[in-house]
Amino acid sequence: MRVVFLGPPGSGKGTQAKLLASRLGVPAISTGEILRAAVLERKPLGLQAKAIMDTGELVSDDLMVALIQERTQDADARGGFILDGFPRTIAQASALEAMLTATGQSLSGVLNLSVPEPLLVDRMAGRAAAESRSDDVPSTVRERLRVYREKTAPLVDYYRQRDLLADVDGVGSISEVSDRIDRALRSVPMRRTAGSRA
């Protein structure tokens, strides 16, 4: 099973991606973790990414796609994977689709975690206090949410048009949301076979 998690910052997608990966016995692949691992292992792509990050610039779509492609070809990902933090843009989604098609694969589904914005702000404020995360302080939270709406939210329509998207209520306990995710995943393949793909 190959699943993409979508959702704004603070929606819990990182936590749920890891839990789903554990239930399915496949790796949860986070772009941040890929970058850190590639740098630590001194892989050519990792060194290239580090050189970019050291200048304070964002890693390009092309390089992120190459890193994802390299990671998904590892032995532990051959039976499937959960993507958290990728794709972030329509261009990355198109590249992911082309990459999977080239190897005779496809996405099993896309899970969109929905959480009201006031609750997201509260969650991230709590996380900032508990984990000392500088990106979760109030001064940056609303900007992160604005960037999400502008850059990543369009992926919801992109995947909905492909009959791959399942909306999941992200409000509730971790186990409640996990149960909704399992039910949503069971519904996505039925929609894909029942309807035409865009």
pLDDT tens, residue by residue, 56-97: 566 788 888 888 998 998 999 999 999 998 998 899 999 999
Does the structure show a pLDDT above 60 at 17?
A: yes
Q: How many Cβ atoms from other residues are within 10 Å of residue 139's Cβ?
A: 7
Q: Are 120 and 128 in contact (CB under 8 A)?
A: no
Instruction: Assign 192 a pLDDT band (cuts: 50, 70, 90).
Output: very low
Quote the mean pLDDT of the chain: 84
Higher pLDDT, 190 or 169: 169
Phi and psi angles of residue 169, each rounded to the nearest 5 degrees, phi first: -65, 115
Residues known to be catalytic = 13, 88, 127, 133, 144
Backbone conformation region of residue 9, classed left if phi is above 0, alpha if psi is from -120 to 50, else beta: beta
Higher pLDDT, 145 or 32: 145
The CA distance from 183 to 155, in Å, is 21
Going by C-alpha positions, the residue among 165, 189, 175, 190 that lies closest to residue 113 is 165
Instruction: Assign 181 a pLDDT band (cuts: 50, 70, 90).
Output: very high
Does the structure show a pLDDT above 50 at 195?
A: no
Residue 136 confidence (pLDDT): 53
Q: Specify the CATH number for the domain of residue 97.
A: 3.40.50.300
State in Å, rounded, how far the first CA of the chain is from the last one.
Answer: 20
Residue 135 confidence (pLDDT): 52
Maximum distance among all Cα pairs of the chain, rounded to whole angstroms: 48
Residue 144 confidence (pLDDT): 77
The average pLDDT across 182-196 equals 61
For the chain, the domain total comes to 1
C-alpha dihedral (18, 58, 72, 180), degrees to nearest 10 = 30
Instruction: Assign 39 a pLDDT band (cuts: 50, 70, 90).
Output: confident
CB contact set of 23 (below 8 Å; sequence gap of 6+)? 178, 182
Give the domain extent around 115: 2-194
